[in-house]
Amino acid sequence: MATKPLTGTKVFLMLVAFFGLVIGVNVTMMKLAIATLPGTDVDSPYAAGLTYDREISAAQDQAARKWQVSAHIERRADGAATLQVDARDAKGQPMSGLKFGGRLERPTDKRADLQVTLSEAGIGIYRGNATSVAPGQWDLVIEGEARGTRVFMSRNRVILN
């Protein structure tokens, strides 16, 4: 049986095909990685650094108030979730007239974050709904405002089934 000789042209074409395949796979993987990477945690680390002292001061002010704020979130089978916040002052009295808002943040993908608008459902009870909440790990962020100033902020990791 006669075999074809290995020529320089064949070797050259095999090398081009091999490296073309490797480069093609690398480019594809790079595009997929860039498309799925959510990016940095903050848009400007410099600006976040400048606000650090204000955040520490706000946390100290919040701790001094000794408010008792509890949250309960429940995900239903249809994917909707209900968030309820119970806000009480240092004496245990319900607090009315605050503006609370909530966010469900995915720890791994900022693009999946969901806003939850809360309205006062009773004295000191704030309630809101979110639709299309996927099961899994979320960071529940609750912020309370009084007269346009943030007076409360909480961040907790929750697992929704």
**72-87 tens-digit pLDDT:** 999 999 999 999 999 9
| Strand (E) or helix (H) holding 28 | helix 8-36
The phi and psi torsions of 31 (rounded to 5 degrees) equal -65, -40
Cα(23)–Cα(27) distance, integer angstroms: 6
* Dist CA 100 CA 28 (whole Å): 44
Q: Among residues of the chain, what percentage have pLDDT more than 90? A: 78
**First-to-last C-alpha distance (Å) of the chain:** 66
Per-residue model confidence as pLDDT tens digits over 131-161? 999 999 999 999 999 999 999 999 999 999 8
Whether this prediction's pTM lies above 0.75 is answered by no
User: What is the predicted pLDDT for the residue at 6?
Assistant: 92
Burial of 105 from C-beta contacts in 10 A (0-12 / 13-18 / 19+): middle
What is the rounded average pLDDT of the residues 11-39? 92
**Hey, what are 74's tokens?**
């429940």
Does 69 have pLDDT greater than 90? Answer: yes
Q: For residue 154, count CB atoms less than 10 angstroms from its CB and return exposed for 0-12, middle for 13-18, buried for 19 or more.
A: middle
